[in-house]
Chains A and B, each alone.
Chain A
Amino acid sequence: MALIVAEGLFKSYGKVIAVNGLNLTLDKGLITGLIGPNGAGKTTTIKIVLGLLKPDRGRVEVFGQAPWDNPKIRTLIGVVHEKAFFPSHQKTLDYLERTCRIFGMPESRALDVLKLVDLQEARDRSIQALSAGMLQKFAIAHALVNAPQLVVADEMTANLDPQARSALLDLILQFHQDENVTFLLSSHILPELSRVCDSVAIINQGKVWAFGELTELYEKYAAGIIRISTDKPEALAGEIRKLPYIEKLEIDIRGISVKVPREKEENLYEDAPKLARRVEAKIQGIETGSASLEELYRLVVGANKGG
């Protein structure tokens, strides 16, 4: 069952096109990541899905209904915005209890969700006295108050330290497994998404460039990726690039990533050591199929640009 259906969404701000014919279907029970560079259209897409913005063209349905000014679906959704803001002079627990009453939930849930994000000791602090990280945790607690079926989060880990990020990812997995909560997560921190996401939508220039389960996308875009670790990556890459069957080659801090047709993988395993001897480079390791989500993203962007 699809919880979110977006078809042909288009939204511009003056001459700037934020979303340009975007299509996206989000199925129930999945954790889906929205990834893309700054200005790709992620936040605008999320705002349209949440009914905060009207698209200029296109159709969007959330739980089968149009989200604009629709209170019915809001009881089913938890929201974490990129920048979290709440009435600042109220105390954290007081405001969460108020939110419980707004959603018709028992007030005791307020303290439960504060404990979930490890913020129970700040229960009597006013919201304006919270640090950026604590405010982000509070926003997450606020999003979980109504026991949502769908959580939409825009850069939810932006202000958190590594330990809190890790704990939050565990929390997402726990909610997903225990309560079958569906998540739509937008983030720039791709390793985090790869840890929790079942599927990703790669957005660029206002369009979805690739969408699907991670395993499918790896198979489609990252099959035939061979990583070569060496002490002279520039020199060795120069030689490997000359091989006729190389489809794509990138150098990063971890070494050389080479994309070759499946049937040519063995050839590269044979050719790389020979080329390394030619440039007096030492090969520290060769492995197949270890592309990260970041590499997958680059491959998708490259493929869509015809690279």
Chain B
Amino acid sequence: MQRGKGKAFLEIFASAVYEDYRFPVLEFFAFLYALGTFVFASFGSMSMSATGEIVAYNVVSSLLGMPLFVFIILIFKNVAYGLGSDIEKGIIQTFFSYPLKRRWILSAKLLSALGVALLLFFSIQISALYILAPDVVTPYLGTVLLTYAANLSFPLLVAGIILLVTLGLRRGGLALILGIVLYFALGIISSLAMFVAFATNSALGLQILSVISPNFVLARYYQPYGPIGGSELWTPTFSEVLLYVGASYVVVASLFALGYLYFSRRFGL
């Protein structure tokens, strides 16, 4: 990207951030993140005999619950409603009159929608980790990062699907409603996959579920005798965990690549 184009990109990004996070949106979501991270975190149920890695996994998992849900709401709002409304109202048409490739315009919008949301999410999460469990972060950084990667894959997968739905529908409100329906539908599909796996005594359902939401495979690795049960059916190795986390990101990247291709080559207004 040439220097002038970089400036154009940053200006469109700044414009998108201004619209996506105008007062009090950013403040409200930051409050929810902080509330969810610090107030609802619970380390009480951890086993004293657990290894350091398992403790690190449990600490990060306990910090994630509500903030992850807040993150999902924020990206729904930004991708489905923010981008969808820009398309519906014709603001994208205005952006298309600027000297910037379409892929950079989409990148500016997504960087605002996802990048800023992720930055906010990680800022509060990392702060919480250093404040609440300072002994865990540095020695088990790999486990901490892997837990975050496994947990964020599913929201990003949903965001990728929502991006495609939004580009297809071109309506902010409708894309938002479909996004929410899709999110719950994926949850139901995951439960069904688990039920089918246990009912048929086949690990295939669990493996498919692990690609959609690799936190599942990580949970089975660290807690094979956890609440889900079925350790005899499938207990993954660490290499398999890495493989499923990687595969899930390949799926996520493919969805976004499809969105970029469509936006750059076929998306007419």
Interface residues in A84-122 by Cβ distance below 8 A to B read 84-90, 95, 98-99, 101-104
A244 within 8 A of B: no
Residues of B within 8 A of A87 (CB): 15-16, 18-19, 91
Residue of B nearest to A80 (CB): B97
Interchain residue pairs A-B with the least CB separation, the first 7:
A85-B90, A71-B99, A53-B268, A52-B269, A79-B97, A102-B8, A74-B99
Residues of A within 8 A of B101 (CB): 69, 71
For the complex, what is the distance from the CA of A74 to the CA of B264, rounded to whole Å? 16
Instruction: For the complex formed, measure the closest distance between the CB of A258 and the CB atoms of chain B, giving whole angstroms.
Output: 45
**A-contact bits for B118-135, CB 8 A (1 contact / 0 none):** 000000000000000000
For the complex, what is the distance from the CA of A54 to the CA of B265, rounded to whole Å? 9
A51 within 8 A of B: yes
Binding site for B on A (CB under 8 A): 47, 50-54, 69, 71-72, 74-75, 77-79, 81, 83-90, 95, 98-99, 101-104, 142
On whether the beta carbons of B94 and A86 are closer than 8 Å, the reply is yes
Instruction: For the complex formed, measure the closest distance between the CB of A54 and the CB atoms of chain B, giving whole angstroms.
Output: 6
On whether the beta carbons of B90 and A83 are closer than 8 Å, the reply is yes
Residues of B within 8 A of A101 (CB): 7-8, 11
**A-contact bits for B226-269, CB 8 A (1 contact / 0 none):** 00000000000000000000000000000000000000111011
Count CB-based A-B contacts (< 8 Å). 76
For the complex, what is the distance from the CA of A72 to the CA of B94, rounded to whole Å? 16
Instruction: For the complex formed, measure the closest distance between the CB of B96 and the CB atoms of chain A, giving whole angstroms.
Output: 6
On whether the beta carbons of A69 and B102 are closer than 8 Å, the reply is yes
For the complex, what is the distance from the CA of A78 to the CA of B99, rounded to whole Å? 11
Q: List 30 A-B contacts (CB under 8 A).
A: A51-B96, A52-B96, A52-B268, A53-B268, A53-B269, A69-B102, A69-B265, A71-B5, A71-B98, A71-B99, A71-B100, A74-B99, A75-B99, A77-B97, A78-B97, A81-B90, A81-B93, A83-B90, A85-B89, A85-B90, A85-B91, A86-B94, A89-B19, A89-B22, A98-B14, A98-B15, A101-B11, A102-B7, A102-B8, A103-B99
Interface residues in B18-61 by Cβ distance below 8 A to A read 18-19, 22
B176 within 8 A of A: no
Residues of A within 8 A of B93 (CB): 52, 81, 85
At the interface, is chain B mostly helix, strand, loop or mixed? helix
Given A52-B268, A53-B268, A102-B8; A74-B14 close (CB under 8 Å)? no
Residue of B nearest to A95 (CB): B15
Instruction: For the complex formed, measure the closest distance between the CB of A156 and the CB atoms of chain B, giving whole angstroms.
Output: 14
For the complex, what is the distance from the CA of A99 to the CA of B14, rounded to whole Å? 12
Residues of A within 8 A of B7 (CB): 101-102, 104
For the complex, what is the distance from the CA of A85 to the CA of B86, rounded to whole Å? 9
Given A54-B268, A89-B18; A104-B91 close (CB under 8 Å)? no
Instruction: For the complex formed, measure the closest distance between the CB of A150 and the CB atoms of chain B, giving whole angstroms.
Output: 12
Instruction: For the complex formed, measure the closest distance between the CB of A235 and the CB atoms of chain B, giving whole angstroms.
Output: 51
Binding site for A on B (CB under 8 A): 4-5, 7-8, 11-12, 14-16, 18-19, 22, 89-91, 93-94, 96-102, 264-266, 268-269
Most chain A beta-carbon contacts within 10 A, residue among B4, B5, B265, B268 = B268
For the complex, what is the distance from the CA of A51 to the CA of B268, rounded to whole Å? 8
On whether the beta carbons of A69 and B98 are closer than 8 Å, the reply is no
Instruction: For the complex formed, measure the closest distance between the CB of B91 and the CB atoms of chain A, giving whole angstroms.
Output: 5
Residues of B within 8 A of A50 (CB): 96-97
Residues of B within 8 A of A84 (CB): 90, 94
For the complex, what is the distance from the CA of A23 to the CA of B12, rounded to whole Å? 35
Residues of B within 8 A of A79 (CB): 97
For the complex, what is the distance from the CA of A131 to the CA of B63, rounded to whole Å? 48
For the complex, what is the distance from the CA of A83 to the CA of B264, rounded to whole Å? 23
Residues of A within 8 A of B91 (CB): 85-87
Residues of B within 8 A of A53 (CB): 268-269
For the complex, what is the distance from the CA of A149 to the CA of B8, rounded to whole Å? 20
Residues of A within 8 A of B11 (CB): 98, 101-102
For the complex, what is the distance from the CA of A51 to the CA of B267, rounded to whole Å? 10
Q: Which of A72, A77, A81, A102 contacts B12 (CB 8 A)?
A: A102
Residue of A nearest to B7 (CB): A101
Residues of B within 8 A of A78 (CB): 97
For the complex, what is the distance from the CA of A104 to the CA of B15, rounded to whole Å? 16
For the complex, what is the distance from the CA of A88 to the CA of B91, rounded to whole Å? 9
Instruction: For the complex formed, measure the closest distance between the CB of B125 and the CB atoms of chain A, giving whole angstroms.
Output: 29
Residues of A within 8 A of B265 (CB): 69
On whether the beta carbons of B96 and A102 are closer than 8 Å, the reply is no
For the complex, what is the distance from the CA of A85 to the CA of B93, rounded to whole Å? 8
